[in-house]
A and B are shown apart, each in its own frame.
Chain A
Amino acid sequence: MSLINIFSDYTLRTVALGSALLGAISGVIGTYTVLRKQSLVGDAVSHAALPGIGIAFLLTGSKNIEWLLLGAFISGWLSLYIVNSIIKNSKVKYDSALGMILSVFFGLGLVILTYIQKIPDSNQAGLEGFLFGQASTLLKRDVIVMSIVGGAIIIIIALLWKEFKLLSFDPEFCQVSGFPKEKLDLILTTLIVIAIVTGLQTVGVVLMSDMIIAPAVSARQWTDKLSVMVILSSIFGGLSGVIGTIISSSTRNLPTGPVIVVIISAISIISLFIAPGRGIIWRRMRDKKNKKRLNRNIILNSIYNLNIEGNRIQGYSLEDLSISKGDFNFPINTIEKELEKLETLDLVKGKDEKWYITEKGINEIEDFRGRLEE
């Protein structure tokens, strides 16, 4: 199966479009979930959606995606509601409540699925696809439903952009700014549940939570801006959705969910290592550079100290610097080399064999000291 086939093969095109949509939606929502440290909420909601799917099928007898997703939505939401009432009204901790409710709901889901299997002529085939996802079962109408849901989510996020940002960064300030925390939280939680539910058919209840976490974690490494993070996250999610779907449709019996998860995980791992600025490799390099900078700052600091003692900006010779304070022991030529480097950075100025600290140098060292006080 080659890439060109996506455009010629109608089914595959539908499926790829659906996966791209789900990846993009969960990427957008996941940004908020990850930033608000609610990553495991996704795990609970997705597992807890299973009984809802089963019950919806039992009640309606149809496999219409709208009914199944509605059922999934209700039971996903209910699970969160129960978790919240447990931790609010008892000493049970958040993680215990989450772990218990997700496994109990999932157990109930399995019970209902086995019950459905026993009903004669129930045409249940396909429901197990919800466990690990079966993208090949996506139909055009499913994709239309997903587009509508995705569009609605994006419109709500765009409308409430600043409110959600404030809620995620500083809920207390959000409250005093006149945006009620509880209401916004309710809206955002509902959007999370919706995003998870729309992805269930493709990725499955067991692994959907990863589609909420991994794209956002990857995106966070590449940017320090919320808007860019949301966009990047949806691109990562969409990309892994499409690639995963294509790979899984080209191999028999390969459920889609796990393949998508492996791809988005690869993106996360790569991001954690190489993302400029934050990535692990970059950080190693910066640590080395900082070590060098530290030497430079020690020398800058000693000029600064001498100035504070002298109470005015005044020049010092290399000899003054080499005997000053005695908290460092650099050979004179190292000091000279570092001073020359400092001069290229405009932090000191050399004149008539004497070295002066500049205004910029003073700012630099005060900033540096402020950070050392942490």
Chain B
Amino acid sequence: MKYAVEANDLTVAYHKKPVLWDIDLEIPSGVLMAIVGPNGAGKSTLIKTMLNMIKPVTGETRFWGEAYEKQRKNIGYVPQRGSVDWDFPTNVLDVVTMGTYGELGWFKRAGKKEKEKAIKALEKVDMLPFADRQISQLSGGQQQRVFLARALVQNADIYFMDEPFQGVDAKTEKAIINLLRELRSMRKTVVVVHHDLQTVEEYFDWVTLLNKVIIASGPAEKVFNEENLMKAYKSKVDKLFS
């Protein structure tokens, strides 16, 4: 069986310090997976490395057994909300349409067909009434839903999401989780960098505990236990369970 994502011996280093160390990770097709770990554990770095944005010192990542470049169009990405300037002169529909650019390729412009895809995606995240709104006029939760819509437009089979729950309102959190479940029901694979340990078991069926090395990875009920958390978070874990 071919895994949706398979990372082999990934090692990433910034300057003197290694950030990720010999990561071997297999993600089966169709799971909803959380990457969990303390600050500085290299969670974002891991997905960026898998997506070819950061060059590893050693190792490689394969998607259904193929290199990233071959499968790029089947891979969707939701960056951290804070990574862009929301005062950029553009509106919601336009940002969501950016999800079609990868498929369009060089030079071609987005047309009617692309706009329609974007509108459908906006509908899914309950943001259609905001299509013409300038992006600086959105709340944090709305911004996040716009980013999700853009990823939906990519119509990928694997999604990587960097902290989509970070600082969003309750309504958006619910919307995101519904969307994740819908994606799973469509047999898509979703990998989410996640911070909130309380909700891991409720939201996800697959968990990877990371702290520069892989502490554990597998079905949530098997892997997400105190012993592994202790290893990943060390002393912090005492406070959490007390």
The answer to whether the Cβ of A358 comes within 8 Å of any Cβ in the partner chain is no
Residues in A34-53 with C-beta less than 8 Å from chain B: 35, 37
The answer to whether the Cβ of A161 comes within 8 Å of any Cβ in the partner chain is yes
The answer to whether the Cβ of B17 comes within 8 Å of any Cβ in the partner chain is no
B83: contacting residue among A160, A172, A371, A373, CB under 8 A = A172
Query: A218 to chain B: closest CB distance in Å?
Result: 13
Stretch among A20-28, A64-72, A162-170 lining the B interface = A162-170
Contact status of A370 and B101, CB under 8 A, knowing A161-B109, A162-B110, A176-B77: no
Residues in A180-203 with C-beta less than 8 Å from chain B: none
B139: contacting residue among A160, A168, A169, A371, CB under 8 A = A371
Contact status of A169 and B53, CB under 8 A, knowing A223-B89, A226-B90, A373-B139: no
Residues in A336-374 with C-beta less than 8 Å from chain B: 363, 366-367, 369-371, 373-374
Is there contact, CB below 8 Å, between B83 and A224? no
Is there contact, CB below 8 Å, between B72 and A178? yes
Is there contact, CB below 8 Å, between A162 and B101? yes
Query: B23 to chain A: closest CB distance in Å?
Result: 19
The answer to whether the Cβ of B106 comes within 8 Å of any Cβ in the partner chain is yes
Query: B17 to chain A: closest CB distance in Å?
Result: 15
Residues in B48-81 with C-beta less than 8 Å from chain A: 48, 51-53, 72-73, 75, 77, 79
Query: B149 to chain A: closest CB distance in Å?
Result: 13
Provide the bound-state CA to CA distance between A64 and B141, in Å.
Answer: 58
The answer to whether the Cβ of B88 comes within 8 Å of any Cβ in the partner chain is yes
Given A224-B89, A363-B129; 5 other pairs, CB 8 A cutoff: A172-B79, A175-B53, A176-B51, A224-B136, A371-B139
Query: A366 to chain B: closest CB distance in Å?
Result: 7
Q: Mark B140-168, 1 if CB is under 8 A from A, else 0.
A: 11100000001000000000000000000
DSSP majority for the A interface? helix
B105: contacting residue among A160, A170, A178, A373, CB under 8 A = A178
Q: Mark B84-98, 1 if CB is under 8 A from A, else 0.
A: 110011110001001
DSSP majority for the B interface? mixed
**A-chain residues with CB within 8 Å of residue B72 when the two chains form the complex:** 176, 178
The answer to whether the Cβ of A159 comes within 8 Å of any Cβ in the partner chain is yes
Provide the bound-state CA to CA distance between A226 and B52, in Å.
Answer: 29
**B-chain residues with CB within 8 Å of residue A168 when the two chains form the complex:** 88
Is there contact, CB below 8 Å, between B90 and A169? yes
Residue from A168, A175, A224 having most chain B Cβ neighbours under 10 A: A224
Contact status of A176 and B75, CB under 8 A, knowing A162-B101, A163-B106: yes
The answer to whether the Cβ of A179 comes within 8 Å of any Cβ in the partner chain is yes
**B-chain residues with CB within 8 Å of residue A370 when the two chains form the complex:** 139, 141-142, 169, 171-172
**A-chain residues with CB within 8 Å of residue B53 when the two chains form the complex:** 172, 175-176
Q: Mark A142-168, 1 if CB is under 8 A from B, else 0.
A: 000000000000000001111101101
Which of chain B's residues has its CB closest to A175's CB? Answer: B53
Query: B133 to chain A: closest CB distance in Å?
Result: 9
Is there contact, CB below 8 Å, between A173 and B107? no
Where the two chains meet, the residues of A that have a C-beta atom closer than 8 Å to any C-beta of B are 35, 37, 159-163, 165-166, 168-170, 172-173, 175-179, 220, 223-226, 228-229, 363, 366-367, 369-371, 373-374
Provide the bound-state CA to CA distance between A372 and B85, in Å.
Answer: 20
Is there contact, CB below 8 Å, between B83 and A170? yes
B109: contacting residue among A37, A162, A178, CB under 8 A = A162
Query: B55 to chain A: closest CB distance in Å?
Result: 12
Provide the bound-state CA to CA distance between A223 and B87, in Å.
Answer: 12
**B-chain residues with CB within 8 Å of residue A177 when the two chains form the complex:** 98, 101-102
Is there contact, CB below 8 Å, between A373 and B140? yes
Is there contact, CB below 8 Å, between B107 and A160? yes
Is there contact, CB below 8 Å, between B139 and A226? no
Provide the bound-state CA to CA distance between A168 and B91, in Å.
Answer: 15
Provide the bound-state CA to CA distance between A225 and B134, in Å.
Answer: 9
Provide the bound-state CA to CA distance between A295 and B172, in Å.
Answer: 26
Which of chain A's residues has its CB closest to B162's CB? Answer: A172
Is there contact, CB below 8 Å, between B83 and A374? no
Provide the bound-state CA to CA distance between A367 and B85, in Å.
Answer: 21
**B-chain residues with CB within 8 Å of residue A161 when the two chains form the complex:** 109
Residues in B82-134 with C-beta less than 8 Å from chain A: 83-85, 88-91, 95, 98, 101-102, 104-107, 109-110, 129, 134
Is there contact, CB below 8 Å, between B109 and A225? no
Which of chain A's residues has its CB closest to B143's CB? Answer: A374
**A-chain residues with CB within 8 Å of residue B91 when the two chains form the complex:** 224-225
11 interchain pairs, CB-CB under 8 A: A35-B89, A163-B106, A170-B79, A170-B84, A172-B83, A175-B53, A177-B101, A179-B101, A220-B89, A366-B171, A369-B169
